[in-house]
Amino acid sequence: MRKAYPIARRGSGTLKLIDRYLGIPLVSCLALRPKRSLPAAIAHIGLMKTAAIGDTLLLAGLIDDVRRRYPAARLTLITGTDNASAARLIRCDSDGHVVISTGAPVQSARAIRALGLDVLADFGSWPRFDALLAATSAARYTVGFRTPNQFRHLAFDRAVDHSRQLHERDNYVRLLAALGVEARTDPSVRAPGVLSPARLPATPFVVFHPWSSGYRREVKEWAADRWVALARAFRQRGYSIVVSGGPSERERGAALVAALRAVHDDVHDASGVYSLEELADVLAAATALVSVNTGVAHLGGLLGARTISLEGPTPPVRWRPLGPNVRPVTSSFPNCGFLNLGFEYAGQRLDCMDGVSVDAVLAAFDDLVNASRSPRPRPASPESS
């Protein structure tokens, strides 16, 4: 069995404090450094995203667009340890993948310098750590985001404005436009086909992914009694349930599965069981995925699986999963959907997920299932055109 997918450590408040109070002064020291122009000849491009499985998956398709613009250049994807598994799903037309550790900054900087990059594009929206890696990368040209109040843009030769009014993928598109790259490839991920069908439920099933990640992740999670009510409804509809989660969710997953089994006799505990690639095969085979807004929701959407994302403090305009079969279910409470970079909880309501109803989730499920069963309209005949 492959290694189960990790849960990112990016929610650490201590690391955020270090990044801010040490990172900002260090980046500010770069303010007077001369800014360089994009090289005329580009042989090696680095694309860096050091954390967050969901954010990394949003690069899907864009690597192919970079290849189209720079067909002769070598493309290397640079990730952290926590999101390396996501990179393996979206590498597409890249030539290499380098994994660095945010806990080993000197070694990480050396690994990037050893690549001999002509261009480095940093897709991080707020970490100063990433900006410092770009500044010390020895790349001939660097591009990254100018995010309000994050003071990281001084590290780059070219800074692109990051907007809270855009979906994060659209921000990525703007970043690559600074390199002359036109985004033309729809974002999608293919199921890798690494999981034996024998490890799937024998009956139609729905995947529940109840666990979030990052800072204050509990504020983005749904109460257990909502999952129990949803399991009861799917039992009546004839679907079994698979509860997914990473290794760190085994204990919580077992407790939730026990509660679900009190109302549903066909519930499978998959916490820590699958690698991310194997989970992709599970989602592709499922009737639907119901997930809080996290990397698994993004994976389901990009796979084309019927995906229902539970949106409390996360605004769909910024963070909804992308894909042809996605239905975000938002909170009915006012003043929700306030998160931008993922840590803006001060002064905000923390009960937004209580405003996401079971009935709304079931309505979204019915809409998705009925849409897939509806016959497609026939193209107009020559006589009627």
pTM here is 0.91
Domains 13-177 and 197-373 share a fold: yes
> What per-residue confidence (pLDDT) applies to 167?
98
Q: Residue 16: which pLDDT band, with cuts at 50, 70 and 90?
A: low
> What per-residue confidence (pLDDT) applies to 309?
98
pLDDT in tens, 309-357: 999 999 999 999 999 999 999 999 999 999 999 999 999 999 999 999 9
First to last CA, the chain: 56
> What per-residue confidence (pLDDT) applies to 33?
79
Q: Quick check: 376 pLDDT over 60?
A: no
What's the fold here for domain 13-177?
Answer: Rossmann fold (3.40.50)
Q: Which two tokens stand for residue 213?
A: 């990640």
Helices 224-237 and 250-261 cross at an angle (nearest 10°) of: 50
What integer is the mean pLDDT of 43-59?
Answer: 96
pLDDT in tens, 146-178: 999 888 999 999 999 999 999 999 999 999 999
> What per-residue confidence (pLDDT) applies to 190?
95
User: Mean pLDDT over all residues of the chain?
Assistant: 91
Domain limits, the chain: 13-177, 197-373
What integer is the mean pLDDT of 252-265?
Answer: 97
Homologous superfamily (CATH) of 197-373 is: Glycogen Phosphorylase B; (3.40.50.2000)
